[in-house]
Structure 1
């Protein structure tokens, strides 16, 4: 097949289809014409795929056919079944696929927090960089605990969720650089280690743990999962396997966006715990139990439902209709 001649012969029809798809309103005759041109363009796409699968032309026709189909079918309604499948299958499958990256990043992060905390606590020079003795005293005895009660619980929960969701999104979306997730994890570990060192220096390590652990267990797990997901995406860029680099990044990127949506939902729970449980006048043992229960539920959700979904060949990726056509690859 001469692709140039084929495209030149049908270009007017394709352009006409584009104009009908972009029209705000269609008459009855125009709707009939849209259906006819859609079928014709779909047939052209099939011919090009089978006879001469030129990636550029296939992609162009695929986008055109998809847009026409969406215009004809309208916006797909999100049903209860679709939402249930997304929450109980797609999201846990996506989180399950990055579980080892999450565990690896968690071990590295905890080690870094301990190193920074112990080094800061034992180094007068490092401690002096965090402020004067009076400033550190005020932070340990007033500011650290006051942070959790400075705003109304609902407003504070919204602020915490927004901040953490943005952080998780940066880790995933910026994962292809390799630098952004690593930087976020580094800054988070250093800040946490230094704060713990200041509190321990004033004999308030127990209070530090009581204020951080209830929400921090779930919150940090979400951030670390996002960091692990971002680093996995960077690894995919370096080692795409048997897939082309572009296709591997596209697939893994869509899966990790699904994971990010799940983490955003989990961060809502973490924000509510931080706003309502952490400052509550209840025993610290009960607060930590709430935090442990929340993070345990996240891991059960990831491992149990995720393993089941993966065994059913669910990856967390979009379906062919939503993801679009991928050009065939050799090998």
Structure 2
């Protein structure tokens, strides 16, 4: 192996790693770049040691690697600026990048659920496969009382915890694909059978009036979690020609972690809607309008703010590549 040629070809990456390691603050993209460069440099050092163990090159590269490792491992101080960056850039950008997955799921599952509601309503014996006669008879009363059975603050916390767990399960199990399909199928069946029984009894307005105020936002969060999870799984199955399967999986898993954290406060809002707005003693149209308004704000945040954040991130990437090419 020609050591001089090998070093000359890779010295730019080592210098870039050292430059990033010296900075006091790194953006998310720069932090990712530092980690990638560090792992590449460790491979380069291993190759040099095994083939052409030049002590000067090994010592210099080892020094740069130590600086890179120290920068990766150093603790980060709490900063309101980092929270602001997460809310205005990192989270909405990841929502936007995964939009095709969760929007497609939302449309597909909404159509399937509507079809199941219609089928159960039109075929009453189907409901008997899942519910007892007593459960079917008292379903409307149980459905309405469910939202006011517990103290509102406790109910909001309970709903928030359950929905956050379900969404996290969809994201975490996405690489296996099948668990996400099962979780979505179980949720679809529950909503479809309940809606079908109520629709068959002439109480479809009750079903929609109590589900829509919180369900629009809550189910969208579930769709987002499931879509991001399936996106991770698809990255493992079909990574594409430009990156390795491992690189795609790492990148999309990181994206999934950002979405999982970002959905926590959104699901809290959905829990508050379910505990305070859904059972509120006001006309159903008011409750639905309130839920639809919050849901619309989330869609604007994910698609409009997300698009702007994604473009800013792309612009930073282009400038970074330009600087690297001009060094």
TM-score, normalised relative to structure 2? 0.75
SS in structure 2 at match of 1:130: coil
Residue pairs, 1:1-331, within 5 angstroms: 49=44, 52=47, 68-69=70-71, 73=74, 75-140=75-140, 142-241=141-240, 242-313=242-313
Q: Summarize the Cα distance change of 1:118–1:48 in structure 2 as closer, same or farther, 3 Å threshold.
A: closer
Which has the higher mean CA deviation after the structures are superposed, 235-244 or 87-96?
235-244
* CA deviation after TM superposition for structure 1 residue 164, in Å: 0.3
Q: CA deviation at 1:117?
A: 1.4
- Residue in 2 that maps onto 1:57: none
Q: CA deviation at 1:135?
A: 2.6
Structure-2 separation of matches of 1:63 and 1:47: 7
The separation in 1 between residues aligned to 2:48 and 2:275, in whole angstroms, is 56
8 A contact 2:42–2:65 mirrored in 1? no
Please say if residues 180 and 226 of structure 2, whose CA atoms lie closer than 8 Å, have aligned partners that are also in contact: yes
In structure 1, C-alpha distance between the alignment counterparts of 2:43 and 2:228, rounded to whole Å = 37
Q: CA separation in 2, counterparts of 1:180 and 1:47?
A: 36
Shift of 1:251: 0.6
- Report the TM-score, using the length of structure 1 for normalisation: 0.74
Structure 1 residue 46: Cα displacement: 5.4
CA distance in 2, matches of 1:46, 1:170: 35
**Alpha-carbon distance, 1:99 to partner:** 0.8
Partner Cα separation in structure 1 for residue 65 and residue 154 of structure 2: 43
User: Residues 98 and 53 from structure 1, CA distance in 2 versus in 1: closer, same or farther, beyond 3 angstroms?
Assistant: farther
1:215 CA drift (Å): 0.2
Query: Retained in 2: the 8 A contact 1:172–1:226?
Result: yes
Q: What value does the CA root-mean-square deviation take over the aligned residues?
A: 2.9
CA spacing shift, 1:64–1:114, aligned 2, 3 Å: farther
**C-alpha distance 314-298 of structure 1, shift in aligned 2 (>3 A):** farther
* Partner residue, 1:8: none
**Structure 2 gaps, min length 5:** 2-36, 50-61, 316-327
What is the aligned length?
269
- CA distance in 1: counterparts of 2:108 and 2:248, whole angstroms: 26
CA contact (8 A) 1:168 1:226 kept: yes
1:68 CA displacement: 4.3
1:181 and 1:63 map into 2 onto residues whose CA distance is 40
